[in-house]
C-alpha cells in the first residue's frame, strides 16, 4: 500500500463528506473507502453488472427481508407444503390464511391515517389493492399472469402460475382469502384449479378483522 | 444539473491504477469521468444506507441470479416456520431439504471457482433469519457455523440437512456436527476424487 501511486480527482463536496462519515463509522479512512468503492465498481463491470440495477435489487431484497420473506426453491417450497398439506390440510390452510391476514393488516396499517388514537385500525382503513398486487408480483417470480382489479365495491383477483402444484394453488387461494377477508371483503366467487386462481370479492361496509391480525 | 454545478467540489486521493481503470470504463460508456465517479459514490452511499456492504453486492447479485436460474421464490417466513413447527421432524421433509441443498451444491460447484464462499453468501441471502453464517476452512476441512436467535430446533435440523446436501453436491462429506435450537455447526471433509 505504501508504494502505491496516488492521484487526485474532483467530486462533489457533499458526496465526499458523506463518504467520509461512512468511512469513519466503519473505522476506515476516506482513501480506503473510495478505493473499495472503485474496486467494487470494477468488479461489477467485469461481471457485466450495472450498479444502478444492483441498487434496485438490493433495495428489493432489503424490503422483502423487512416484510418477513425468505428465499426458497420453488420445488422445495411446493414439496414441503404438499407434505404438510397431506399431514393436516386444516392446519396448513390455517397458516396460509393467517399469513394473508397478516399481510393485509400490515398493508392497511401502513396507510397514513389508518391507525386511530387508541392504536386500533380505523374503520375507514381500506386495503390498497395496488399494494397487494405489487406485493404478490414482487414475491412470486414466475407468475404468468396476475391482476387485481377494482370496480366499484368489487375486487377481482386472477393469479396464474403454471408452476403452482394443486396443493399450493389451494394454499395460495387461502392466503388471498385471508388478505381480502381481513380487509372487509367477502367472497362472491372462488375458482381454484392447479396453477389458476380466480376470486371475486365484494366490499362490506362493516369491515371486520381489525383485531388480532397485528 | 445546474444545482449540481452550484455545489462545491473537492479533491480526493485515489489509487492511480484504480482511477485509470474507472476512467477507461466511463470513456467506454461515453460518460464524463467526473459524472461517472460521482454516480458511483452516490450509489455506494445508498447501498450502505440499505445496510449492505458495497463489496458484497456483486456476490449478492450473483446469488439472486442463482436463485432465479434454479427457480426460487420469496416465501412468507411465518408459513415456513409454521410448517416446520408441525412437520419439522418428518423424514420426507428432511429429505426434501437435503435434495434441495444438493441441487444448489451441484449447480454452484459447476459454475463457480469457490463454491464454498458462494454457499456461505447464499445462506446469508436465503435465510435472513440467520444472524451469523461462517465457513471456516482448514485445508480439506470446512466447518459451517450458522447462528440464529429465532431458529427452532427443527428449523436448525432443516438447515443442517440443506447444508449437508449442498456440501455433498459440492464434493464434501459430513464429518460431524452439532445441531440445536439457534445453532447449526457442521464439519465437512473433501471427498477423495
What's the pLDDT score for residue B4?
47
Instruction: State percent of chain B over pLDDT 90.
Output: 47
Pairwise pLDDT comparison (B169 vs A139), residue with the higher score: B169
* B149-164 pLDDT tens trace: 888 899 999 999 999 9
A143 touches chain B (CB under 8 A): no
Set of cell numbers at residue B40 = 458511483
ipTM higher than 0.90? Answer: no
What's the pLDDT score for residue A123?
57
What's the pLDDT score for residue A141?
65
Chain B nearest CA to A10, separation (Å): 4
Interface contact flag, B83 A61, Cβ < 8 Å:
no
Q: Per CATH, is B54-190 categorized as 3.30.70?
A: no
What's the pLDDT score for residue A23?
92
In this complex, how many residue pairs, one in chain A and one in chain B, have their CB atoms less than 8 Å apart?
A: 237
Stretch B14-32: mean pLDDT: 90
What's the pLDDT score for residue A205?
61
Task: From chain B, pick out residues whose CB is under 8 angstroms from the CB of A59.
Answer: 50
Q: Please answer whether residues B157 and B88 qualify as being in contact, where contact means their C-beta atoms are separated by less than 8 angstroms.
A: yes
Instruction: Label residue B167 by pLDDT band (50, 70, 90).
Output: very high
Q: Is the pLDDT of residue B184 over 70?
A: yes
Candidates A7, A10, A58; nearest CB to B16:
A7
Q: Please answer whether residues A150 and A129 qualify as being in contact, where contact means their C-beta atoms are separated by less than 8 angstroms.
A: yes
CA max distance for chain A: 75
Task: From chain B, pick out residues whose CB is under 8 angstroms from the CB of A16.
Answer: 10, 12, 41
What are the domain boundaries of chain B?
Answer: 2-49, 54-190
What's the pLDDT score for residue A209?
45
Candidates B18, B54, B71; nearest CB to A75:
B71
Candidates B15, B87, B92; nearest CB to A4:
B15
Q: Is the pLDDT of residue B2 over 60?
A: no
Candidates A11, A51, A58; nearest CB to B9:
A11
Stretch B97-118: mean pLDDT: 93
B26 C-beta neighbours (distance < 10 Å), count: 19
- Closest A-chain CA to B92: A83
What's the pLDDT score for residue A212?
34
A29 touches chain B (CB under 8 A): no
A43 touches chain B (CB under 8 A): yes
Q: What are the phi and psi torsion angles at B34 (to 5°)?
A: -60, -45
The residue among B12, B92, B122 with the most chain A CBs within 10 A of its CB, best to mutate, is B12
What's the pLDDT score for residue A116?
62
pLDDT tens per residue across all 214 residues of chain A = 456 789 888 889 999 999 999 999 989 999 999 998 888 888 777 777 776 777 777 777 778 878 888 888 888 999 999 999 999 999 999 999 999 999 998 888 877 666 566 666 555 556 788 888 888 888 876 778 999 999 989 999 999 988 889 999 999 999 999 999 998 899 999 999 999 999 999 998 654 444 333 2
Task: From chain A, pick out residues whose CB is under 8 angstroms from the CB of B86.
Answer: 84, 87-88, 91
* B58-73 pLDDT tens trace: 777 777 778 888 888 8
Instruction: Label residue B46 by pLDDT band (50, 70, 90).
Output: confident
Q: Is the pLDDT of residue B130 over 90?
A: no
Q: What is the mean pLDDT of chain B?
A: 87
What's the pLDDT score for residue B106?
96
What are the domain boundaries of chain A?
Answer: 89-203
**Geometric angle at alpha carbon A163, from A68 and B103, rounded to 5°:** 75
* B133-151 pLDDT tens trace: 999 999 999 999 999 888 8
Amino acid at each position: 500500500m505504501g508504494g502505491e501511486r496516488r492521484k487526485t480527482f474532483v467530486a462533489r463536496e457533499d458526496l465526499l463528506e458523506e463518504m467520509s462519515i461512512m468511512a469513519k463509522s466503519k473505522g476506515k479512512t476516506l482513501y480506503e473507502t473510495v478505493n473499495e468503492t472503485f474496486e467494487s465498481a470494477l468488479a461489477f463491470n467485469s461481471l457485466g453488472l450495472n450498479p444502478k440495477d444492483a441498487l434496485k435489487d438490493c433495495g428489493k431484497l432489503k424490503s422483502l427481508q423487512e416484510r418477513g420473506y425468505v428465499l426458497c426453491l420453488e420445488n422445495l417450497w411446493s414439496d414441503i407444503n404438499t407434505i404438510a398439506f397431506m399431514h393436516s390440510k386444516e392446519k396448513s390452510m390455517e397458516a396460509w390464511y393467517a399469513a394473508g391476514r397478516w399481510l393485509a393488516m400490515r398493508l392497511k396499517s401502513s396507510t397514513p391515517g389508518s391507525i386511530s388514537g387508541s392504536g386500533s385500525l380505523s374503520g375507514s382503513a381500506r386495503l390498497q389493492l395496488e399494494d397487494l398486487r405489487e406485493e404478490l408480483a414482487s414475491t412470486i417470480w414466475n407468475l404468468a399472469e396476475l391482476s387485481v382489479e377494482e370496480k366499484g365495491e368489487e375486487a377481482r383477483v386472477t393469479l396464474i402460475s403454471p408452476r403452482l402444484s394443486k396443493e399450493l394453488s389451494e394454499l395460495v387461494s387461502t392466503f388471498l382469502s385471508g388478505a381480502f377477508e381481513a380487509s372487509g371483503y367477502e367472497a362472491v366467487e372462488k375458482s381454484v384449479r392447479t396453477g389458476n386462481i380466480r376470486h371475486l370479492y365484494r366490499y362490506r361496509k362493516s369491515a371486520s378483522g381489525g383485531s388480532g391480525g397485528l | 444539473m445546474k444545482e449540481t454545478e452550484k455545489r462545491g467540489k473537492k479533491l480526493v486521493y485515489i489509487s492511480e491504477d484504480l482511477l485509470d481503470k474507472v476512467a477507461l470504463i466511463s470513456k467506454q460508456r461515453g460518460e464524463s469521468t467526473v459524472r461517472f465517479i460521482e454516480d458511483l459514490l452516490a450509489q455506494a452511499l445508498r447501498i450502505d444506507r440499505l445496510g449492505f456492504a458495497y463489496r458484497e453486492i456483486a456476490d449478492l447479485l450473483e446469488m439472486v441470479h442463482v436463485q432465479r436460474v434454479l427457480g426460487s421464490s420469496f416465501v412468507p417466513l411465518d408459513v415456513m416456520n409454521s410448517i416446520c413447527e408441525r412437520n419439522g421432524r418428518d423424514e420426507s421433509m428432511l429429505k426434501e431439504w437435503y435434495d434441495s441443498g444438493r441441487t444448489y451444491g451441484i449447480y454452484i460447484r459447476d459454475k463457480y471457482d469457490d463454491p464454498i464462499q458462494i454457499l456461505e453468501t447464499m445462506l446469508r441471502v436465503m435465510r435472513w433469519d440467520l444472524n451469523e453464517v461462517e465457513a471456516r476452512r482448514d485445508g480439506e476441512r470446512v466447518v459451517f457455523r450458522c447462528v440464529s436467535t429465532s431458529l427452532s430446533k427443527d428449523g436448525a435440523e432443516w438447515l443442517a440437512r440443506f447444508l449437508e446436501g449442498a456440501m455433498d453436491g459440492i464434493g464434501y462429506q459430513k464429518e460431524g456436527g452439532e445441531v440445536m435450537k439457534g445453532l447449526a455447526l457442521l464439519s465437512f471433509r473433501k471427498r477423495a476424487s
